Structure 1
Amino acid sequence: MRMVTVAIMVMAVAVGQGQSEPPQSMPADVGPGRVAWFDITTTDLPKSKEFYGKLFDWKFNPVQGTDLAVEIVAGGSAIGTIRGADGKIGPFNGVVYVQVSGIEESRKRAKELGGTLVPGFPFDLPNGI
């Protein structure tokens, strides 16, 4: 089954905003309604790596082609990224990707419930994700 994700912008303190790039590793097929991947944006990448590494025992892999992001690894699986802020800090912490069984049905339901589609979302990632 093709995994489909819906991105949700989440609020947080002292963070940047912007559209994420595709993950370096394939996100796990976690099942509909569950978080499949997330991106955290920070003003201090080394400090954030140290903090989250100690707090959650996360490990980090470099993201190919940049020193402004790292892939988060937990339990041997890639689960997201931490990225340096791109420009001025805004109200958004990052993006949370929730797996759904059908993107069009989920978009329709979200709109019925009063949701707003964020420009640029949803988007297809390479490799059929």
Structure 2
Amino acid sequence: MPIRETTAAGEPVWTDIASTDFEKTKAFYAGLFGWTYDEPAPEEYGGYVTARLNGQMVAGLSPHQPEMGVPNVWGLYLKSDGIEATADAVRAAGGQVLVPPMHVDPYGHMAIFSDAGGVAIGAWQPQTHQGFGVDAEHGAPAWFELHTRDFAAAVPFYERAFGWKTSVLGDTDEFRYRTLGEGDAARAGIMDGARYLPAEVPGFWVTYWGANDVDAAVAQAVELGGRVITGAEDTPYGRMATVEDPTGAALKLIGVGG
């Protein structure tokens, strides 16, 4: 299992979800991916728990509270080396600060922003909590992708606010896509979703989760109370599927081998 020891500034560093049915959510991901859970964080952090895969940190879960915003959606955090400077860069790049920088002592510093296209994105400046400990394995994050209605605004936003160096993967009306990094070193992508996203949806971030056997994972998700959105299919980037967990949270599955 490849251990992720460091995360460069601007790269995806953490993902978490606030669930309206916390115990059902925990059971679903434990059954699907084999996650185990730490003891809840101190009470002031709302029952937040860290999920682990073979002992390595992989995601965060918490019971939903009204002040936490939209429930049952996986949120993404990008690595920040200085949360206040990141907030300033977000504003300068045309974004907005939704949740101002705060210290989550002793774990790190966080903030939530809206990018230039209106999509929420978090930032995390680690202290004791360094983020993902593993990736591209069964049950671990394997890819991160922004679907946006405003591709022309989103690309320069992430370049300016988070220091991304992007590479063109596709530049046609049918497939317009940029990646953070290039080739095997790419860490995330931006997809032009103007053709298929509803007018009232500015976009969203998606985490792809690794699966040794995508077809088996889809079947298991259904057995655990989930629902199939898009069945398993082969793509130029591997076998993929989209499912929902029992609370309606969407997740992509992508084959990662044995």
Which runs of structure 2 are paired with 1:72-87 in the superposition (5 Å)? 72-73=180-181, 77-84=185-192, 85-87=194-196
- Does structure 2 conserve the Cα–Cα contact (< 8 Å) formed by 1:41 and 1:83? yes
Q: What is the aligned residue count?
A: 105
Q: Equivalents in 1 of 2:140, 2:215: separation in Å?
A: 17
User: Which among 139, 160, 167 is matched to residue 61 of structure 1?
Assistant: 167
Aligned-residue Cα RMSD (Å) equals 3.2
Q: Equivalents in 2 of 1:122, 1:95: separation in Å?
A: 17
Q: Which runs of 4+ in 1 moved over 6 A?
A: none
Q: Equivalents in 1 of 2:233, 2:216: separation in Å?
A: 15
Aligned to 2:39: none
Secondary structure of 1:93 counterpart: strand
Which runs of structure 2 are paired with 1:1-129 in the superposition (5 Å)? 30-66=136-172, 68-73=176-181, 77-84=185-192, 85-87=194-196, 88-89=198-199, 91=201, 93=204, 95-119=206-230, 121-126=231-236
- Does structure 2 conserve the Cα–Cα contact (< 8 Å) formed by 1:11 and 1:93? no
Identity %: 28
Q: Equivalents in 2 of 1:69, 1:126: separation in Å?
A: 14
- What is the deviation of 1:39? 2.4
- Does structure 1 conserve the Cα–Cα contact (< 8 Å) formed by 2:140 and 2:210? yes
Q: Equivalents in 1 of 2:199, 2:206: separation in Å?
A: 15
Letter of the 2:157 counterpart: F
Distance 1:36 1:113, change over 3 A: same
- 5+ residue gaps, structure 1, are 1-9, 16-28
Q: Equivalents in 2 of 1:102, 1:83: separation in Å?
A: 25
Highest RCO, 1 vs 2 (Cα 8 Å, sep ≥ 6): 1
- 5+ residue gaps, structure 2, are 1-72, 76-113, 120-134, 240-258
- Does structure 1 conserve the Cα–Cα contact (< 8 Å) formed by 2:171 and 2:177? no
